[in-house]
A and B are shown apart, each in its own frame.
Chain A
Amino acid sequence: MAIDRKTVEKVAKLARLQLTPEELDRYGGQLGAILDYIAKLEKLDVAGLEPLAQAVETLNVFRADDPRPSLSRDAALQNAPEKTGDFFIVPKIIE
């Protein structure tokens, strides 16, 4: 079952990946082949089973809400592709 270009286009947009029409078709075909394989899960009876999101199920972990040192501003900004002073630069988003 190949996934049509429109569906892949929608998914790529959700994932913020700018793909060419040729790439949309290629990934759509591969996605379809993988989903065909994954379809075998439909044969299994999973009624009444709780989903298992994490195998070693741990309870919520809390810590005291005390201030403590964290990464310095300089360290947090050191890898920013574009920055000014204490800020990351992004294109203007408000007209």
Chain B
Amino acid sequence: MTDAVSIRQDILTRKTTATQVAERFLSRLAAIDPKVRAFLSVNKDAALAQAKKVDEKLARGEKAGLLAGIPVAVKDNLCTIDAPTTCGSKILENYRAPYDATVVRRLREEDAVIVGKTNLDEFAMGSSTENSAFFTSRNPWNLQCVPGGSSGGSAAAVAAGMAPIALGSDTGGSIRQPAALTGTVGFKPTYGRVSRYGLVAYGSSLDQVGPFGRSVRDAALLSQAISGHDPHDSTSVNQPVPDFVGQLDRDTRGLRLGVPKEYFSAGLDAEIRTSVEEAIAKLVAKGATRIEVSLPMTEYAIAAYYIVAPCEASSNLARYDGVHYGHRSKDYDDVTSLISKSRKEGFGPEVTRRIILGTFALSSGYYDAYYNRALKVRRKIKQDFDKAFESCDVIVGPTSPTPAFPVGAKVGDPLSMYLCDVYTVATNLAGLPGISIPCGLTSAGLPIGLQVQGRVLDDLGVLQAARAFERELALSLPWPSLT
């Protein structure tokens, strides 16, 4: 098993073929996914056909794409014309998208080989994949534990070597938290850097598509392929995309690391605290500067997020009406009961909870007290970051307050699940780029994630700082045990 950059190199230099690579990953997938359950659907024939096309293209001497022959796993809330797009929900169980998401189209244009669609919490709402309507994915490092979520399937697929890279989406930490829990690299780009066209909408002002990989370089490569302006998404940013891969290595000296004291307060696992502190110290020893910063709004971010995101969700999910697409109840009297019963039968408990919360917070009499106040707090959160970035280049801390937790540990208590994202939701509220990279293992052998956040549109700076950590830490994590 190798990384995406080497796979591409080996294919281009004819050391191997895209077909051989696809066969190798598909056979590993077939052998271990029954244990990990990362994938909702796998299309072996389509993957092999695509690999063959890449090999033929190379044989004809044509220019190969950025992802030539690299197997990629795709989160199942991204529309694909040739595979189901279920969003982990019963309501979309039989849905076939009539178009490709822009990021999926870009994968195809860059000659990637899509191996399958990965499991997620229903509509990307959750931190463990336990809210999937189909099954719970497992953490390759300990099969009794969750892989995090909502992009838990993509994270587990990459961690277990079933695909070298994968796409996820991040609304409040849904790429970075599962990356932390599975020992992978997961990057949430600046809001607007990557098109959301064809990403099933959850919280539209927060959602962003991003990559998983087993190295910062692989995450940068996939970012390169999917970033850029898209006329189909009016919120996509019309700015040139830097050469993420070519400029990845920068001098550690002079890098100013902002360390917010609020990220190291009560509630943080002691081993995670030590590991992240040691990583920062290591970079300082190599010439980076540690700057103490403060983000006083940290303790309010979850509260603001759980108003803003459910409000947007309640509006976005109004489209599921049992008429245009998706589940339709068999048992109704009139159009209102058709819609109300189809939705009740199609949505799981967490989605229902967030629709109720969002509808409540937007309803007459509560709008100002909840939604409008949360948006003002969101302004304060952004101002917090603006102030911190006056004195540092990036902000560094833990990604998740705890390592992977056992399946079932938090399902009875929604609020305890929400608190998994205490260090990640503010990034989305402020639209910043953020990444999680592995920085060690706990004594129980579970991965620890370190988060780097940067200024709006400084995706390159975040990738460079993450690469500096990766280079100086020089971790060589073993492969997960799959037990």
Binding site for B on A (CB under 8 A): 3, 7-8, 10-19, 27, 30-31, 33-34, 37-38, 40-42, 44, 46, 49-56, 58, 61, 63, 71, 75-76, 78-82, 88-91, 93
A83 to B347, CA, bound (A): 23
Total cross-chain contacts (CB, 8 A): 163
Q: Answer yes or no: B9 CB below 8 A from chain A CBs.
A: no
Q: Answer yes or no: B284 CB below 8 A from chain A CBs.
A: no
Is there an interface contact between B300 and A40, defined as CB atoms closer than 8 Å?
yes
Given contacts A52-B378, A52-B382, contact A90 B356 (CB under 8 A): no
Contacts of A53 in B (CB 8 A): 205, 375
Within 8 A of A (CB), among B274-314: 299-300, 302-304, 306-307, 314
A10 to B428, CA, bound (A): 31
A14 to B367, CA, bound (A): 14
Within 8 A of A (CB), among B332-350: 332-341, 343-344, 347
Is there an interface contact between A51 and B304, defined as CB atoms closer than 8 Å?
no
Contacts of B334 in A (CB 8 A): 91, 93
**How far does the Cβ of A24 sit from chain B's closest Cβ, in whole Å?**
10
A32 to B207, CA, bound (A): 26
Contacts of B373 in A (CB 8 A): 41-42, 46
Given contacts A41-B304, A46-B380, A71-B98, contact A18 B370 (CB under 8 A): no
The A interface, classified by DSSP as helix, strand, loop or mixed, is loop
Q: How many chain-B residues does the 8 Å CB contact rule pick out?
A: 72
Contacts of A38 in B (CB 8 A): 303, 306-307, 370
Please tell me which stretch of B106-114, B171-179, B322-330, B473-481 contacts chain A, meaning at least 4 of its Cβ atoms lie within 8 angstroms of it. B322-330
Is there an interface contact between B376 and A52, defined as CB atoms closer than 8 Å?
yes
Which residue on B lies nearest to A27, using beta carbons? B356
Contacts of B357 in A (CB 8 A): 31, 34
Is there an interface contact between A81 and B323, defined as CB atoms closer than 8 Å?
yes
Within 8 A of A (CB), among B203-249: 205, 231, 234-235, 237
Given contacts A34-B414, A81-B327, contact A11 B339 (CB under 8 A): no
A30 to B373, CA, bound (A): 21
Choose from A18, A54, A75, A88 the contact partner of B341 (Cβ within 8 Å).
Answer: A18
Contacts of A40 in B (CB 8 A): 299-300, 303
Q: Answer yes or no: B420 CB below 8 A from chain A CBs.
A: no
Is there an interface contact between B344 and A18, defined as CB atoms closer than 8 Å?
yes
Is there an interface contact between B324 and A14, defined as CB atoms closer than 8 Å?
no
A38 to B333, CA, bound (A): 38
Which residue on A lies nearest to B92, using beta carbons? A79
Contacts of B376 in A (CB 8 A): 46, 49-52
Choose from B235, B339, B432 the contact partner of A54 (Cβ within 8 Å).
Answer: B235
A89 to B324, CA, bound (A): 9
Contact sample, A vs B, 29 pairs, CB 8 Å cutoff: A14-B359, A16-B318, A17-B344, A19-B352, A30-B353, A31-B357, A37-B303, A51-B376, A51-B379, A52-B375, A53-B205, A55-B428, A55-B432, A56-B431, A63-B231, A71-B98, A71-B99, A78-B98, A79-B95, A79-B325, A79-B326, A80-B323, A80-B324, A80-B325, A81-B326, A81-B327, A82-B328, A90-B323, A90-B335
